[in-house]
Amino acid sequence: MLQFYYNEIKSRLRGGNYMSKKLLISLITALFIVIAGVVIYFKFFTISENKPSSTTSKSRISTSQSSQSSTKKESSEDSSSVTTNSTSEKPSNETGKPSDQAEGKEQVKARSTVFDFNAMTHGNFTSVKGTWKNAEGQTITFDEKGIVADETSISSFNYDASGNLIVNVQTRLTGYSIWFVMKGNAIVPEGDTSDTNRDRIFAGQGMPEDIASAAYYRVDQ
């Protein structure tokens, strides 16, 4: 198309008509103005078309990020709520702390022993029935009801820290204690030289100095 206008202009210039030349110059000027206007229009239109798309894309990204942030916040609040409820429903150990005696009973259940401490504390000594003897030749005899001895009675029961049963015995003039020590347990934390692989008994008003000789083992049922 431009080639056509160029040839037309060239042809008229050759005609030598001054007015025609002036008209052609005006025509050429107008033509370039139109072409420049068309180019500028298309460039502006293209830019205008692309801008909304970019803005929309950014808006979608922003909306997506906002949605994800909101979801995470809600999830965090739900998790916090569950944790709080779980903590508040957890039973408290501030009250009802088991006594030393109850702790001793629980430890007894977990060990293998001939001693039936539960029955003994209820007056049944069948589990220890028979004669027990130590290395010094001293003996203690039990029947189903307790110690076989004159003017002797059981006054109370207790447990030590290891779960061994302590029976407090009252005689006519005085009293003493009997420790029923389960196998695997020690009568003292350190220095128990008795046979810890066997159930044994210790008797006296205090801890014996020679533990090995003082330990009673069952010799007869």
What are the per-10-residue average pLDDT scores of the chain (221 residues)? 59 57 77 82 66 48 53 52 44 40 47 89 96 96 93 92 93 93 90 93 90 94 75
Using the 3D structure, point to which of 56, 89, 122 is the last residue of a domain: 89
Using the 3D structure, point to which of 64, 89, 114 is the last residue of a domain: 89
Are residues 73 and 141 located together in one domain of the fold?
no
What pLDDT is attached to residue 59?
A: 47
Q: How far is CA 214 from CA 122, 142, 155, in A?
A: 27, 18, 23
The answer to the question of residue 94 being in a domain is: no
What pLDDT is attached to residue 45?
A: 66
In degrees and rounded to multiples of 5, residue 132 shows phi and psi of: -115, 140
CB-hemisphere CA count at 13 Å for 167?
27
Using the 3D structure, point to which of 39, 55, 89 is the last residue of a domain: 89
What pLDDT is attached to residue 36?
A: 82
Strand ordering across the sheet containing 130-133: 146-147, 139-143, 130-133, 217-220
Are residues 121 and 189 located together in one domain of the fold?
yes
The answer to the question of residue 186 being in a domain is: yes
Are residues 12 and 111 located together in one domain of the fold?
no
In degrees and rounded to multiples of 5, residue 60 shows phi and psi of: -65, -40
216 forms bridges with which residues in the sheet? 201
DSSP-derived 3-state class of residue 206: coil
Are residues 116 and 183 located together in one domain of the fold?
yes
- Report CA dihedral (185, 188, 194, 200) to the nearest 10 degrees: -50
What pLDDT is attached to residue 206?
A: 87
Q: Identify the domain containing residue 167 by its residue range.
A: 100-220
Domain total of the chain: 2
Which DSSP helix (H) or strand (E) runs through 171? strand 165-171
In degrees and rounded to multiples of 5, residue 133 shows phi and psi of: -135, 145
Instruction: Residue 57: count other Cβ atoms within 10 Å of its Cβ.
Output: 10
What pLDDT is attached to residue 97?
A: 37
What pLDDT is attached to residue 12?
A: 56
